[in-house]
Amino acid sequence: MVAHLVNTIRNVVGVTGNVIALFLFLSPLPTFIRIWKKGSVEQFSPVPYLATLINCMVWVIYGLPMVHPNSTLVVTINGAGTAIEVVFLTLFVVFCHDKKKRLMVVLIAMVEIILMAALGAFVLTIAHTTQRRSMVVGIIAISFNIMMYAAPLSVMKLVITTKSVEYMPFSLSLASFLNGVAWTIYAFLPFDPFIAVPNGVGTMFSLAQLLLYGTYYKSTKRIIAAREEAKIEMQLSPSSSVAVSNGGVGPKKGVGAAP
């Protein structure tokens, strides 16, 4: 009876985690709509998306029945996450005008795919029990999951330097926090250290981002307002200078001349 109740709660939390994780994977959508409209990636970093891609792929391997049985919910959400990150990275490459950065993103993504293919082949051929396979892939998954949550640290450094959260989307930070909480709870029903450890750490990283967002939210508004004001002044200044130059071009009237 207790075991059945625990399993039911686990499934409910798992489904909830899937929904939240899907929101997490889709949370950069406003960022990419902005990139699409402006035709440029501006100062947005590809690091979070590259980190999320390899994280999703390794968790798909972990959740396979021949690696870690009864982990269908892990496979479904991370399979969806892999597809979403591929789309986002494709858009990033298309709208990145820096050839070196574009090439770097493509090369890193290719290396990640090759590594995951090699990992899958290695685990299925060398480790002969699901327990051993789970341990090998689980240890690697912990590293990549923490890396995914820690990826925005580079953006956090930019936030502290510029005192602006413009390039650290709030939706992404909030979704990361909720996702970490949901999967940490899931990992304790029953206890799975390979899911609990990275998501517990990820929850702390995401909380730090939210605190940083609250700290610099008002200064971001001031910086954006000042930039818009400067832009308007720049747009008006050419017409003003033309008016001044036109005023000085006209023929000078002689002293005492008739109007």
Secondary structure, 3-state, 192-254: CHHHHHHHHHHHHHHHHHHHHHHHHHHHHHHHHHHHHHHHHHHHHHHHHHHHHHHHHHCCCCC
**pLDDT confidence of 28, banded at 50, 70, 90?**
confident
Q: Which of 59-73, 115-129, 143-157, 231-245 has the lowest mean pLDDT?
A: 231-245
Q: φ and ψ at 218, to 5 degrees? A: -65, -40
Q: Which of 2-11, 82-91, 195-204 has the lowest mean pLDDT?
A: 2-11
**pLDDT confidence of 252, banded at 50, 70, 90?**
very low
Percent of the chain with pLDDT over 70: 90
Top-confidence range, 80-84, 167-171, 243-247: 80-84
Torsion of CA 113, 114, 118, 121, to 10 degrees: 60
**pLDDT confidence of 255, banded at 50, 70, 90?**
very low
Is the Cβ–Cβ distance between 110 and 50 less than 8 Å?
no
What's the average model confidence in pLDDT over 61-80?
91
The DSSP 8-state label assigned to residue 187 in this structure reads T
> Cis ω on the peptide bond leading into residue 190 (within 30° of 0)?
yes
What's the average model confidence in pLDDT over 32-43?
88
In terms of Cα–Cα distance, which of 108, 15, 118 is closest to 53? 108
Tell me the average pLDDT of the chain: 84
What's the average model confidence in pLDDT over 221-226?
83
**pLDDT confidence of 238, banded at 50, 70, 90?**
low
The DSSP 8-state label assigned to residue 259 in this structure reads -
What pLDDT is recorded for position 105?
Answer: 94
